[in-house]
Copies of this chain bind each other. A is one copy, B any other.
Amino acid sequence: MAEIKCIGILTSGGDAPGMNAAIRAVTRTAIYNGFEVKGIMRGYKGLITNEIIPFKTQNVSNIIQQGGTILKTARCMEFMTPEGRKLAYENMTAQGIDALVVIGGDGSLSGARIFASEYNFPIVGMPGTIDNDLFGTDTTIGYDTALNTIMEAVDKIRDTASSHERLFFIEVMGREAGFLALNGAIASGAEAAIIPEIATEVDQLSELIGNGFRKSKNSSIVLVAESELTGGATGLAERVKNEFPQYDVRVTILGHIQRGGSPSASDRILASRMGEASINALLEGQRNVMIGIQNDELVYIPFSKAIKNQKPINRDLLNTIKILSI
């Protein structure tokens, strides 16, 4: 295996708070270990359009606290084609990049896996997504911040005056995973979470209302994952209007505010440790692994495992929500 001299770094997919802390950690650990570093703009797109910038330690000064990603991110169709990946490979080698660190979610790591196997190119991945839906790691970069953002929004909604039988549906992100809705509901003291994981098993809305819920309270807050399986906040509001017209329903869609904001302490620490670990992994000859954290220990997860498996949700927490909102 050829020696690595220059490491490229990119962020891909939906952006997540803590990506900048990760970029900083990767860059500085690489430089500390004698590598050259190049920043690739707009995810895989920058590989194709050759938007690649030499990175010094100053390039990552004063970014640990910033939301978003200084490298930008974009979805890239071309990289899904063999021709696109060939062009990416040619640009990278022309730039002298001989290893890659990719920060992103499930789709981004899938792309990395295909590319790595086609070109035998050393890649290390880092889980950067607010959805927390990657198998092999207890938590992902951005998840904790998004959870706090949701909680603070619900705190504000709870402040407002209550009137009888008012039902607030607050839609949060999580197309295929209910982590944000479930844990967001516990953190904010909401009355229920409606999540995709159990959508095919239970009619969560009927159960919620049919149980004679909230007899003793004046208004209720329900967090809804924005999945087709749940119906989303708007879909549920429609159903309530038709099936349970006695309730006064309000909808808030938090939307992109969940992707932004200065990262929490926990996300910055995670991103910093994972960033350092990604360079250590390359130094140890690891390739095509995602850095994970399990029981506070950094681990290497083969791409094939990180992306193929479904990360299970803790269903006991649904019961916790029910008990704590009596």
Contacts and interface: CB of A to CB of B under 8 A. Distances in A.
Contacts of A155: 65, 67, 260-262
A188 B260 CA distance: 14
Interface stretch (A78-86, A88-96, A158-166): A158-166
Contacts of A29: 323-324
Contacts of A14: 160-161
A28 B324 CA distance: 6
Contacts of A258: 156
A187 B256 contact: no
Interface stretch (A109-117, A203-211, A245-253, A284-292): A245-253
A168 interface: yes
Interface stretch (A2-10, A119-127, A146-154): A146-154
Interface residues of A, number: 78
Nearest to A155: B65
Interface string A54-90: 0001000010111111001111000000000000000
Nearest to A262: B155
Interface string A266-278: 1011001101100
A184 interface: yes
A159 B268 contact: no
Interface centre among A29, A187, A251, A258 (most CB of B within 10 A): A187
A320 interface: yes
Contacts of A160: 14-15, 67-68, 256, 259-260
Nearest to A296: B138
Contact of A15 (B24, B148, B159, B188): B159
Contact of A188 (B28, B64, B74, B294): B64
Contacts of A320: 272-273, 276
A122 B220 CA distance: 36
A25 to B, nearest CB: 6
Given A15-B161, A148-B264, A255-B252, A323 B156 contact: no
A326 B57 contact: yes
Contacts of A262: 155
A265 B156 contact: no
Contacts of A74: 161, 163
Interface of A: 14-15, 17, 24-25, 28-29, 31-32, 57, 62, 64-69, 72-75, 138, 144, 147-151, 153, 155-163, 168, 183-184, 186-189, 216, 250-262, 264-266, 268-269, 272-273, 275-276, 294-296, 314, 317, 320, 323-326
Q: What 3 A-B pairs are tightest by C-beta distance, nearest first?
A: A156-B260, A159-B260, A67-B159
